[in-house]
Structure 1
Amino acid sequence: MLSIKSLSYSYKKRQRVLDGISTTFQPGHIYGLLGLNGEGKTTLLKLMVGLLLPIEGNVFFGTLKSADRSAAYYNEVFYLSDSSKLPDMNIEAFGKIYGAFYTRYDHQEYINHLKSFNIPMENGLRGLSLGQHRKVHLAFALACNTSVLLMDEPSNGLDIPSKGIFRKLLAKSMSTDKIFVIATHQIRDVDNLFDHLLILNEGKLLIDANLFDLSKEYSITRTPEPEDEIVYSQQEFDGAVHLVKTTAPNEAKLDIEFLFNAFTQSNQTVEL
């Protein structure tokens, strides 16, 4: 379990990017972390992995604290940044050398992921495009088999077929003892993988909820019932679409992009 307790951070003394955030990430779940530009998604991930130090609060994996930046913590928590520029070396050697820092690294798994992405193994990293660098980095991140994998815009630089391959590899790599956190603007690339949604807004968590629980409380409809509470309406070319808080049982899959628009624009905090 990874826990965040009263976490705050600011780049300027009087302007907090994150303000008193507390939440818990449970194994066996894929978390979607969403927010408008500048709302602190990348900052939060960097705090979670210890690249930044909080002005208040802490992040823990078990008893290990991110701010201590210990080898034991990094063996459990891997951060995939939003850009991938890897060192100039042989592709297979990169996995062997850097994989040695992770006790559960699986080199054959790394090779298999590279083959899935059609990466030419005979080339060095220097000869690869930026998109291919991204695929190598993704393959390595998944093969490290850390307990927590934090991903910042993981589909950046991937072409359409590669995005599908990434989704399959991510789903295959998921297990009951792992936590995946994906921060992204490209919601459509990965929304089918999420089972828990977090939305950052004005330094706080506007949404921190399981999608199944959300689907029992809210629905998206063009024809709301008289007793439904309309939370948000959006005009589309063929008419209005509404997010409603419904009294009727509902377990239909929610459109996460619409849900994001609804809650950020209505500024309504969800408590389930």
Structure 2
Amino acid sequence: MSTGTFADLDHRPAVSLADLNSAAALQTRTDRKYVVEAHRAVDAIEAFGAEVQVLEMAGRRTFAYDSVYFDTPALDSYLLAAHGRRRRYKIRTRTYVDSGISFLEVKTEGARAATVKERIPYEPSDSHRLTPAGLDYINETLACSIGSVPSGNLRPVIETAYRRITLYLPSSASRATLDLGVTWRRPGGQAHELDGAVIIETKSGSAASALDRHLWAYGIRPCRISKFATGMAALDPSLPANRWHRTVSTTLPLRPLSR
């Protein structure tokens, strides 16, 4: 399947999921994120001269993702992130729509702002709720990683959907993703799409990847964005945007979608 707007990537070598996970699993990693106008992102990727391989499965190179984020009624997870607390966490289900596979994931901040992601297989039919076994996993994981558990009942607070292209960079054994058509929706609310822009995310060790350095040379700088927290702040102006205020107000063009 074509990568669409990023047609140059159709001509790059493919990498299988098994090989990608073997070479760059990166469950503990440093993430750098960029919100980039679509045409600038295409130009920058086309001009990237280093070796790049594109994840391909069953002839596809673009894959649909659906994530549901959970928080307490007091929005503890969101507020911990908004105020930059060290022992913050995120809880979500992630569904790989094309393959019908889901995971329950717990993400925490490790040493030096590295993201630590742990996950277990989950039934797609349970993606919008937490089962007793799922809650046990969350509590055990958070008790071990940050020394505490959520103080209230966890419930869905926001859902994201997008199409993703995943790149492998052999020179740094790192990966990057291009997220297109990103949408956010609060429970029972209207969906909003990131209009005319894509999210580029690099996932590497502590050192910047060759793609990071290329984007910087291209005048594209990282920004603070979290699909969970920035989406919450963008859709609910009453929440403290704090770390994402500039992103929400200047670099996150949202367009409401018809119901």
Tell me the TM-score range normalised by the shorter chain: under 0.3
If the length of structure 1 is used for normalisation, what is the TM-score?
A: 0.22
Larger fraction in helix = 1
Larger fraction in strand = 2
Larger Cα-atom Rg: 1
If the length of structure 2 is used for normalisation, what is the TM-score?
A: 0.22
Q: With CA pairs under 8 Å and 6+ residues apart, which has the higher RCO, 1 or 2?
A: 2
